[in-house]
Structure 1
Amino acid sequence: MARYKSNEQNNTDFKQQVVLPTYKLDSNLVLLPGIIYNVTFSRFKAATLLSRFKSQVSNVSLITNLLNEYDFDGKQDEKDETESRYMPTPISEDAVAGIKKFYQYEQKFKGKSDDSRGELDLQNEFDWLVLAINPNLEKIREPQGSSDDEYENIVTIARVIGMVDDTSNIKLTLQALTRGIKHSKVKPSQTNEALVDIDWNANIDDVASQYDVLNTKALRLFKSIDEFIVDYRQALSIAASLAKKGKQSKDLRQNGDLLTLNPLANSLYLHLAGSKDFTKAYISLQKLFGTFNSSSNTKIDNKTFLRLIDLTCAIIPFPNHEKLKLLKDFNATDRVNEANLMLESMIQVFSNLKENNKFINHWFYNEATNIQRANVVASQLKSIRLILEGMTNKPGKDIKTNQNPSRQLVRRGNNSNKSAKLPMNHDGNESNDEYDDEDDDDEDELRAITSFIKGKLPNITTLSSDTKRLIVKDYKRIKSSPPGNSDFHVIRNYLEIVADIPWDRYVTRFKSNKDIDLDFAKKQLDNDHYGLQHVKTRLIQYLVVLKLLGINAEKEFEKIESENKKSNKNESPSNNKSDKEKGEKNFTRADDSIVIANNDETSVAHETARNKNKKSKSLTTIEKNLLNKSLMVSKNNKSPIIMLVGPPGTGKTSLAKSIAKALGRNFQRVSLGGIKDESEIRGHRRTYVGAMPGVIIQSLRKSRSMNPVILLDEIDKIIGGNNGVNKFNGDPSAALLEVLDPEQNTSFIDHYLGFPVDLSQVMFICTANEAYNLSRPLLDRLEMIEVGAYDYDEKLVIGEKYLLPRQIKRNGIPQADLIDLEKSVMRKVILDYTREAGVRNFERSLGRICRFKAVEYSQSLDKLSEYQPKVEIEDLPKYLGLPFANLSTELFESPIESAKCGVVNGLSYNTDGSGSVLVFESIGFNHEGKSGTSSLNMTGRLGDVLMESAKIGLTFIKLIIYKNLLNLIDRNLNESLIDKVNNMEIHLHVPLGSIQKDGPSAGITMALLFLSLILEKPVPLDTAMTGEITLRGLVLPIGGIKEKILGAHLNGIKRVIVPRENRKDLIEEYCRSTNDFNQLNDLLLDNENKYDFKRSEPEKFWFDKYGITIHYAREFWDVIKAVWGDALLVKVDQARMVEYHL
C-alpha cells in the first residue's frame, strides 16, 4: 500500500484575495481543478477574450495575428450602445497585480518559491492568461428544488496554456488550477473582473483512512464500469450474430439481451466507450490508483489526495450539477464527503441498471407473448420517431405533410412555396431575384453557401459580373438537385471553397497606408535580424512607396477617375450608366474589407459581430471616401516579388516571417521542394475525384486575407525549368510564371475555381540556394537579393543576441545568467566546430551545450553537485566532441624532405556558400634521353573546366619561356629551361580528393604553380590567389570574392591576389558593411582608372578587419610581380598588352 505523508504546512497561511479577470462559459462545462480542457471558441469570441491581455501577450505571434483581424481599438464614441456593452476592455492594474500575486502563491504552493529568494517573475506570456471562469448556470439543469443562488459566485481559476488556429475556429487549452469564490458585494473597477477568495490550504484529518474509503469506492466503481462495457459489447455482438444467422425464438430466449435498447445504457456506453479522450483519461486514472495501491514508496499527502478527488470526479461521467456541488465545496473535508457520495450514487446507478436489465430480459424472452414483444418494440420505435421529430423541427412551425414523402426524406429545407413579394435585403431595399430566389432556413445544410450568395457575393469588388453570374448558376443547380445526385457534392464542395476565400479582406497593422510607421518597421526588422541591410532597405522602400501613395490618395484617385472617363468616351450612354452604377456599388463596401466576420454560435455573438460591421458603416461620408481612395490607389501599386538567394542557414525563411510581422500581415509558407505536378500550383479541375485548389488559393484561405505574405520556399528545388521534368504532368515552374508576374497576377486563374483571382496585393517572397537552377523566364520575373555568408564576427553577434537566449529558453533553463558563454568560447565554437555559411549548425552546437548545462543544473537542484554557469574552452570537447581538423597546420606547412616549389594556395567557393583555401601541389621530373615526352597528369577529382584551365595555364607558361620573356641573365639557362619543359612530366594534385572541384577561378593559381615548378622558385605559403586566365595571360573576374577572402583569413593567409575587375565587388561590400553608400559613386569613379586608383579605403577596411593585404592582377605579369617582385619582369614591357579587353 501507499505511504501517507502528514501535512507539513498546517501553520502556513495559503489564503489570498486577488482581483482576476472573469469569463462566463457558453456551454454547460464545469471545470474541475487538475484537468486540462480543450475548449473551442469562434474566432471573434477568442479574439474578444484574448484582446483583454493584448499588452501582456504582444510577443505571441499567433495571438497577435488573430487580434489583427478585428478592430478593437476604435474610438469609443463611434460605438453604439449594444456594441459598447460587449466590447472588450484591457485588464486593469488591479487585475495585473492580482495575476502576479496569484502566480507567486501558485509557485509557493508548488514548493518552487522561497521567501528568502524574493518574488519570482512570470516566465512567459501565457502565464498572464489567468481567468476566473464562471459556470453557465443557465445551461446546467439541476433537480427540482435547487437554487442557482448558492452557485452564483463559484469560479474556477484557469490558465490558457495553449492555442490552436484551424482557420475557422480557435481551440484554447485551459488548465484548471484551483477553485475560488467571488465577493459579490465588492465591485471592482471593471465589470469583467472580480475580487476572488482563493484557499490553497489542503488540511485533512487522517488522510490515510480517507484515502482507504475513496480507494474502496473507486475500485468498486471501476469494476462496475468494466463489467458494464463487457456486457454491452457482448449484447451487441450477440444481437448481430443472431440477426445474421436467423436464429429461432428458442435461441433468442437463451442468448438474447435487451441492454442495447435501454436509453440509460446507450448514454453511458456512448460516454464511456465512444470517446478516445475519455478512454485514455479513464485508463490513466486506473493506473494512478494502481500505482498508489501497489507501491509502498509512493507518498500521498493532502494535496495529492485532493487532486486525486478532483481528477476522479472530472473523468467519471457524473452529471454537471453534481460536479458543480463538488466545485462549490471550498472546505477540503466537505469536498471529500461529497466525492464519496458521488461515487456511491454512481455505483448504485450501475447496480440498478444491471438488475433492471436482468428483469426485462427474463420477462421479454421467457414470459411475454409475441404480441407483447411486438408492442414493446413498436413503442420503442414510436418514441424514437417522436424524439427525432422534436429535434429536427423548430418550435412554432407547423409540420405539414408533403405530397411526396420520399422527396421530403431526400431533400431538407428546400421550400416549395415562393413569396409573391420580393424579399428585403439588410438595408430594407428590394433585392435581386438572381440572389434571393430561395428562403434561407437556419436548419438548411446549405445555409452558409446561401448566406454567401445572398449577402456577400453581390458586394465583392474583385469579382466581375460574369464570374458572379457563373457562381449563382452553380448555386441554382445545387438547390434544384437532390443530395443523391452525382454533381451535388462536387458543386457543394466547390461553392464552400469559393465562400471560404477571404474576398475583399485586407489585414494590416496600419489603419491606412498614410499611417504606416516606418520607424516601427525598421525597429521590428532590426530586432529580428542582425545585418542584411540591403534586404531591409528594399522593404523600407516598399513601405515608403505605400505611405506616399496613401498621402497622395486624393490626387491619384482623381487622376484614375479622369483616365477611366477618357477610356469610356466611346461607349454608349447606357453602358456608361451601368459602369457608373457598378463603380458606385464597388466602392460602397470597400471599407468593410478590413472587418473579418466570425462564426459565433450564439445570437449575442452574432449581434456583436453585426454591430462591429455597423461601426465601419457609421463612418462619415468623407472618411469612407478617403478609405475607398486609399484602397484603390494601393491596389495600383504592385507588391514586389523578391527572391532571397543564399546558402542554407543564413536566415532567408525567418526573414520572410519578420517581413510579415513588420507589415502586420498574415504569413503563409509554401514549400515547393520536390513539386513535379502543375496542378499543385494551379489546382485540379473540379471534375476530378478529390479535386482541390492549388497551393496559392489554399494559402489565401488559410491566411484569411487577400494580402498575406506568402513564402515560396526552396523555389530552386521545384522539379521543372532547368532541373528537367517529365512533361506528362506539366511544368510547375512554368505555372509560377503567371503567379510571379506583377502584370499578370491580377487575374490569376486557378483550374479548380475557373475564374480570375486578384493576387496583386499578395507579397510573394521566394527563397533559393542556387539561382541558376531556375528557368530564365522565371528568373527574369524575380527581384533577386543575395544573402551572403556570415563572417565569424557577425556570427558572434548573432549567437550572443539571438541564438543563445533562444536555446536557453528552449532547453528549460529558467534564467539567462545560468549559462555564461564568453566571446572567446563562442568564437572557438564558430571556428573549430562548424563549417558553414549560415548559423544553423552553430545554433545546434549552442543547443548541445545548453542541454549539458541543463543536466548539470538539474543535478545541482538535487544537491548532487555544485553548478558552474561559466563554460570554459577546456569544456568544449566534453560538450561538443573533438573539433574539426585544422587545414592550416596539415596542408600549408611543408612536409619534411619535400620540395617547396610547385605548391600554391588557391581560393574556392564551396557549395554550402562558404569560402576555403585549396592547396595545389605538383611534382615534375625529366625523362633523360627521351626528347619531346612532356605530359600533364591531374588528380583530385577535378572537373572539366578546371582541367581546361590547367592546360591553358601550362600553354601560357611554355609561351613565355619559348619567347624568352623572363629576365634570365644566362642565355644558356633559358635554353635549358626549354629543354626542361619539353621533357618534363608534371603531376598536379589537389588534396581532399573526395570533394568535387571545378570552375575557372584557379587559372592563375595553376599557371603560377607551373612557373614555380619549372623555375624551381618557391611561392610564399601565406599567399593565396584566385582568378581566371586566358591564353593571352589576361586575368578575368570571378565570383564569391567576399567568401573567399573570409576563408583565406580563417586559414591564416596574409596576402590575397584577386582580379582587378573584382575591385568593384570589394567596394560594394565595403559600403554595405559600413552602411555608407554615399561614397559609393566616388569610389566607383576612382576605380575607373585602369592601372592606378587613388582611394584605398576598401583595401584598408579589409586589412583592418581580417589582416589581409589585397593585390590586384590585370594580367599574369601582375601575379608574378605580387609574388616575386620586379626581378623577372625587365623584358615584360615588349610583351605586355597595349589594351585590355574583357
Structure 2
Amino acid sequence: MAQKFELLEKAAIRSERKIEIPDILPAIPTRTNMLIYPSSVMPLYVGREKSLSALEESIGKYDQLVFLVSQRDITKEEPELGDLFEVGTIGRIVQLMKMPDGNYKILVEGLARAKISGVVEEENALIVKLESLKSRARKSKMLEALVRKVKELTQKYVSMSRRFPEEALMALEDTSNADKFADFVSSIVPFALEEKQKLLEEVEPVERLKTLMELLSREIEILSLEEELDKRVKEKIEQGQKEYYLREKMRAIQEELEGEEDEEIKELKERAASPDLSDEVREKAEQEISRLEKMSPYSAEATVVRTYLDWLLNLPWSLETEDEIKIKDVRRTLDSNHYGLQDVKERILEFLAARKYSEKLRAPILCLVGPPGVGKTSLGRSVAEAMGRKFGRISLGGMRDEAEIRGHRRTYVGALPGRIMQMIRKLGSKNPVIVLDEVDKMGISFQGDPASALLEVLDPEQNSNFTDHFLEVSFDLSRVLFITTANVLYSIPDALRDRMEVIEIPGYTESEKYHIAKDHILPKLLDEYNMKDGSFKITGSAIKGTIRDYTREAGVRQLDRNLGKIIRKAILKMAEGEGSINVGVNDLGEFLGIPLFKDSDFRKKPEVGVVTGLAWTPVGGEIMYIEVLPVPGKGKLIITGQLGDVMKESAQIATSLAKKLCDGEKYADIFEKRDFHIHVPEGAVPKDGPSAGITLTTAFISAVSGRKVRNDIAMTGEITLRGKVLPIGGLKEKLMAAYRSQMKTVIIPLANKRDLEKVPEEIKSRLEFVFVEDILEVLQVALLDKGD
C-alpha cells in the first residue's frame, strides 16, 4: 500500500485542463462538520482502509475526481451506504501529502453537486453511480435582493464573531455569481452538520439564500446574547473587586479606630473554654479561632472556618440522657408495643440488666434480619422509649458515597460531617438509640465503599475513637446503641456482619397477626381516623378473614393497609347517611373486593408429575409448584420458568437420579423416546436456590412411573447423585409458607431437625414433619400407589 501511494503522490499534480465529470466515481465518506461545497477548496485527512482505496481509484482511474459525502453519524468508524447522506460534492484532488502517522492529507476543490443513484462496488472501495444536480435559476430582482441581504447579514456575523480574517470580507465583495456566493457563505459559517447538509441539498440558489437568511439571523441573535452575557460577567467581576477593596479598607479603619475584639470571636472563645469539652477539642477550637481572627470576615475561607466551629462547638461532647432502667417497666413497654419477637426482647433486657451493674459495659451492635413489615425499625423506637433515650433513624439503602458515613474533608466546597455525626448533633445526646435501616442495601461506587466505612462505626473496639473527616477530632460512639436492620444477610460483607450480633425475625403466624391487628394496628388506625367513639366495629372473624384471604405475607404492612381501607370505606358509608358500621367476615368482599388468596384448584387433588416445593425469598417463605411432563422426543431436558443456574443443576441431578431409580426394560423407552419438560409456574418471576433437589426428583419419578403425588404434602431438601438428602437453610420461613398454604405434612432433611427449636409452637402443632436422609424415603411418603 505504501508503494502505491508513493506513485499517487507523484500523480496527484496534473496540468490544468477542462474537466469532464463521469457518471461513476469513487466515494469518500467524511467525518467533519465542515462540508465541501462547489467552488470551495478544503483540506481533508484520509486514513480509513476503504477511503484510501477510493483515493487510489480516484488518482489511478478517474482523473483525480472523487465524490465526497458526509456520514449521518460522524462517530461511526465503518459506515455503510445507508449511513451516508444521498447528496454530496464532486471534487478534484489538487494536492496530496503523506503525514507522519501514515494517513494522507488531501486538498480538494469542489466542482459540482451530485446525488447517489446506485452502487457499483462496496467491497474494497465504495464506487457509486451519480446523478448531477444543476441549478436552473436565472437572474432576477428577487435573487439580487436576496444576495444583498445575505451579504449584509454575513458581514455583520463576521464582524461580530471576530473569527474571520479581513480576506473573508473582501471575498464577499468580490463574489458576483449568486450560486457561488451562496456556496461560499455556506462553507465559511460554522453551522450544524444537518444545516450544512440542507444547504448542500438546496440546488436552487434562491431557496439556499432564503435558508441562509434564517440561519444567519439566528446566529447573529445568539452572538448578541453572548456579548450581553460577557458584559454582565465583566461588570460583576469589577463590582466584586470594588466591594472587596472597600471591605478591606473598612476593616482597616475599624481596627485602627476601635481596636476592640470582635463580639463573634469573643463568644467563640467563651464557648471553647467550656469545661464540657475535652482537651483535644478545646485545642482544635482555639487553633481555628486564632486563624479566624487573622482573616477578613468577608472572605470565603472565614465562612468555612465559622461553619466548622459551629459544628465543633455544638456537638454533645458530654451531654447524655440518663438511662431509666427498670427491667419490669422495660419489659412491659416492649410487650405493649410489639407482639412476639421474644429473642430480640430477651437480648435487649439482658443488656439493660447487665448495664445496671456496670457503667463500663459497651452497647451491643444488634442486627435485626427479617422480611419487610415485621417491625424491625419500630422496635428501635420502642427500645429508645423503654430506656428513656433519644431516638434517631438513618436509612442506608442505596448509599454509595463513603463520605456519607465519614464526612467530607474541609477542602471540598460545601463540606459537612457524615450522617452519623449530623444525627448525634440533631438529637443533642451522645448516647441515643440510632437505627441504621437497610444495611444490606448499600452499594459500591467510584466514591468509595460505605459498608467498609461503617466498620469503624460499628466495631466496639474502634468506635470509642471515631474520627469524622470533617471534624478531624475523635468522638466516642461507644455510648450509642446502634440497631441495624436488613432483609437478607448474604449481601452484607462478612467483615461488617462479624461486628454485629445477628437476631433473625421470621414472619408472623396467623395467630400472631391476629393479636397484632387487634392490639396494635386497629387502635392506631381508629385513633388516626378519629373513630374511637364506637361507631365502627370489626369482628374477630373478619380480622382473621382479612389475614387469611387478603394478606398472605411475612409482615403486617399489607394487613395495616387493608384494615385502613376497611375503615375508610366505613367512613364513606357513614358520610352518606348510614349509622354505625359493624364489619363481619361476610362483609369483607364489599369492603376489600374479591379475595386474593382463596385456595386455588391447582392442587385440589393428587396429580402425576406435580409436586409442591418450599422456597426461601427475601420477603419470607413461598410455596413453589414444580411440574414435569414427558413429551415425544429423544431424551432431551426442556426447562422453563426462569430457573437460575443452581436449580438447573438440580434438575440435571434429578434427571440422572430418576434414570438410575427407574432402571429396567419397563422404563427404557420412556427415557429414549421422550423429552422431559420441567416447568415452574409464574414464569415471569426468576427462581433459584439449592433446596429443590428432592422436589424435582419426586416430580420426575412421578412423571416416569405414572404414580400420583400427594397434594397435601410439601418438601424441601437438596439431593446428591446417589440419592442422599442434604440440609437446607431458611427452614423457619419455609415452614411458615407451608403453614399459610394449609399443608398437612412437610418433608425436610434429617440434618435440619435441630432447627425446629426456632419454629413457633403454633406452626409445629399444625404440621406433621417427616425427616428423611434418602430419596427413597421421600418417594415412599410422597407418592401414592397406582390404584389410589
TM range (shorter): 0.5 to 0.7
Q: What is the aligned partner in structure 2 of residue 479 from structure 1? A: 293
Identify the residue that residue 538 of structure 2 maps to in structure 1.
Answer: 821
Tell me what 1:1115 maps to.
Answer: 774
Change (3 A) 1:411 1:523: farther
Q: Is the 8 A contact 2:392 2:427 kept in 1?
A: yes
Which AA in structure 1 matches 2:684? S
**1:445 partner amino acid:** E
- The 2-side partners of 1:903 and 1:405 are apart by 90
Give distance in 2, aligned partners of 1:483 and 1:1111: 79
Which moved further from structure 2: 850-859 or 1032-1041? 850-859
**8 Å CA contact retained: 1:672, 1:714:** yes
Is 1:1039 equivalent to 2:763 in the alignment?
Answer: no
- Following superposition, the deviation at residue 1023 of structure 1 comes to 1.5
The amino acid that maps onto 2:535 is L
Give the distance between the partners of 1:783 and 1:410, measured in 2 at CA: 61
What SS does structure 1 have at the residue aligned with 2:770?
strand
Partner Cα distance (2:607, 2:424) in 1: 65
Write out aligned runs for 1:460-609 (5 A). Answer: 460=277, 463=278, 465-510=279-324, 516-549=325-358
Q: 1:673: Cα distance to partner?
A: 1.5
Query: Residue 540 and residue 410 in structure 1: after superposition, are their counterparts in 2 closer, same or farther (change >3 A)?
Result: farther
Aligned residues: 540
Deviations 1:1011-1060 (A, max 9, x none): 11222111111111111111121111112222322322333321111111
Q: For the structure 1 residues 714 and 1056, does the alpha-carbon distance in structure 2 shift closer, same or farther, using more than 3 Å as the test? A: same
Q: Distance in 1 between matches of 2:764 and 2:319?
A: 54
Aligned AA (2:651): A
Change (3 A) 1:739 1:878: same
Show CA shifts across 1:585-615 (max 9, x none): xxxxxxxxxxxxxxxxxxxxxxxxxxxxxxx
C-alpha change, 1:1026 and 1:468, in structure 2 (3 Å) is: same
Change in Cα spacing, 1:541 to 1:1035, as seen in structure 2 (3 Å) is same
Equivalent of 1:995 in 685, 705, 708 = 685
Which of these residues, 660, 663, 672, is aligned with residue 384 of structure 2? 660
Question: 1:112: which partner in 2?
Answer: none
Counterpart of 1:923 (choices 629, 652, 657) is 629
Contact 1:532 1:787 in 2 (8 A): yes
Instruction: State the AA in 2 paired with 1:876.
Output: L
The whole-number CA distance in structure 2 between the counterparts of 1:415 and 1:715 is 56
Q: CA deviation digits over 1:466-506, x for unaligned, max 9?
A: 44323211112223433123422211111111111011111
Give the Cα–Cα distance (whole angstroms) in 1 for the partners of residues 710 and 290 of structure 2.
85
Instruction: Choose which of 793, 800, 820 in structure 1 pairs with 2:518.
Output: 800
Is 1:841 aligned with 2:544?
Answer: no
Q: Which of the residues 674, 689, 697 maps onto 2:413?
A: 689
Query: Which segments of 5 or more consecutive residues in structure 1 lack a partner in the other structure?
Result: 1-403, 418-437, 511-515, 550-633, 928-932, 963-973, 1074-1100, 1128-1142
Q: In structure 2, what is the equivalent of residue 590 of structure 1? A: none
Give 1:449 shift. Answer: 2.0
1:782 is aligned, of 478, 482, 500, to 500
Distance 2:701 2:582 in 1: 53
Indicate how the Cα distance of structure 1 residues 503 and 1121 shifts in structure 2: closer, same or farther if over 3 A, else same: same
User: Which residue matches 2:192?
Assistant: none
CA distance in 1, matches of 2:402, 2:622: 40
How far apart, CA to CA, are the structure 2 residues paired with 1:409 and 1:496? 28
| Equivalent-residue separation in structure 2 for 1:544 and 1:842 (angstroms) | 35
Say whether residues 1:905 and 2:612 are aligned partners.
yes
Deviation string 1:445-464 (CA, Å, 9 cap, x unpaired) is 3454232112x1x443xx3x
Write the deviation string for residues 810-862 of structure 1: whole angstroms up to 9, x where unpaired: 112242x3222112111111121123211011101111111122223344xxx
Instruction: Give, as a single letter, the amino acid of the residue that structure 2 aligns with 1:919.
Output: Y
SS at match of 1:772: coil
In structure 2, the CA distance between the partners of 1:415 and 1:1121, relative to structure 1 (3 Å rule), is farther
**Deviation at residue 716 of structure 1 after TM alignment:** 1.4
> Separation in 2 of the partners of 1:658 and 1:1121?
50
Aligned AA (1:497):
W
Between the aligned partners of 2:249 and 2:701, the Cα distance in structure 1 is: 101
With over 3 angstroms needed to count, the CA separation of the structure-2 counterparts of 1:411 and 1:709, relative to structure 1, is farther
In the alignment, the residues of structure 2 paired with residue 813 and residue 1102 of structure 1 have an alpha-carbon distance, to the nearest angstrom, of 35
Please list the CA deviations of residues 1074-1099 of structure 1 after superposition, one character each: whole Å capped at 9, or x if unmatched. Answer: xxxxxxxxxxxxxxxxxxxxxxxxxx
Equivalent of 2:269, from 450, 454, 464? 450
Q: CA deviation at 1:1007?
A: 0.6
Q: Match of 1:1134? A: none
**Whole-angstrom distance in 2 between the partners of 1:453 and 1:845:** 55
Give runs of aligned pairs for residues 590-669 of structure 1, distance below 5 A. 634=359, 636-669=360-393
Offset, 1:650:
0.7
1:890 alignment partner, SS class: coil
Asked if 1 retains the 8 angstrom alpha-carbon contact of 2:487 and 2:618, the reply is no
> Alpha carbon RMSD of aligned pairs, Å?
2.4
The answer on whether the counterparts of 2:552 and 2:597 sit within 8 Å (CA) in structure 1 is no
| Cα drift, residue 706 of structure 1 | 0.5
Alignment-derived partner of residue 947 in structure 1: 648
Query: For the structure 1 residues 482 and 925, does the alpha-carbon distance in structure 2 shift closer, same or farther, using more than 3 Å as the test?
Result: closer
Give the secondary-structure state (helix, strand or coil) at the position aligned to 1:771: coil
Mapped to 1, the partners of 2:612 and 2:545 lie a distance apart of: 25
TM-score by length of 1: 0.46
Q: Identity of paired residues, percent?
A: 39
Other structure's SS at 2:708 match: coil
1:382 aligns with: none
* Matched residue SS, 1:937: strand
Runs of 4 or more consecutive aligned structure 1 residues displaced over 4 Å after TM superposition? 408-412, 1124-1127
Alignment of 1:668-707 (within 5 A): 668-707=392-431
The one-letter amino acid paired with 2:692 is A
Q: Displacement of 1:982 after TM fit?
A: 3.1
Whether 1:876 and 2:588 are equivalent positions in the alignment is: yes
Equivalent in the alignment of 2:570: 853
**Shift in Å at residue 752 of structure 1?**
0.6
What TM-score do you get using the length of structure 2 for normalisation? 0.65
* Counterpart for residue 739 of structure 1: 457
SS of the aligned residue for 1:988 comes to strand
Contact 2:548–2:597 under 8 Å retained in 1: no
Q: Distance in 1 between matches of 2:779 and 2:485?
A: 42
Asked whether the 8 Å contact 1:683–1:752 carries over to 2, the reply is: yes
Task: Find out whether 1:1064 has 2:782 as its counterpart.
Answer: no
The structural deviation recorded for 1:754 is 0.7
Q: Which residue in 2 is equivalent to 1:256?
A: none
Conserved? CA contact 1:411–1:482, under 8 Å: no
What is the CA-CA distance between 1:415 and the residue it aligns to? 6.9
1:889 deviation in Å?
2.5
Displacement after TM superposition at 1:885 (Å): 4.7
Match of 1:560 in 2: none
Q: Could you list the per-position Cα deviations for residues 224-283 of structure 1 after superposition, in whole angstroms to 9, with x for gaps in the alignment?
A: xxxxxxxxxxxxxxxxxxxxxxxxxxxxxxxxxxxxxxxxxxxxxxxxxxxxxxxxxxxx
Distance in 2 (CA, whole Å) between partners of 1:879 and 1:732 is 46
Higher strand share: 2
User: Where do 5+ consecutive residues of structure 2 fail to align?
Assistant: 1-247
Q: 1:889–1:490: structure 2 CA closer, same or farther, 3 Å change rule?
A: closer
AA aligned to 1:819 is F
User: Which amino acid is 1:839 matched to?
Assistant: V
* Match 1:893 to one of 583, 591, 604: 604
Mapped contact 2:276–2:318 kept (Cα < 8 A): no
- The alignment partner of 1:1033 has SS state of coil
Describe the SS at the equivalent of 1:870.
Answer: strand
* Paired position in structure 2 for 1:975: 665
Deviation at 1:682, TM superposition (A): 1.0
1:498-552 per-position Cα deviation (integer Å, ceiling 9, x unaligned): 1110111111343xxxxx3111111111111110010001101111111111xxx
- Change over 3 Å in CA distance of 1:410–1:689 after alignment to 2: farther
Query: What is the aligned partner in structure 1 of residue 121 from structure 2?
Result: none
The separation in 2 between residues aligned to 1:661 and 1:678, in whole angstroms, is 31
Structure 2 residue corresponding to 1:1016, chosen from 696, 706, 727: 706
1:213-232 to 2 correspondences below 5 Å: none
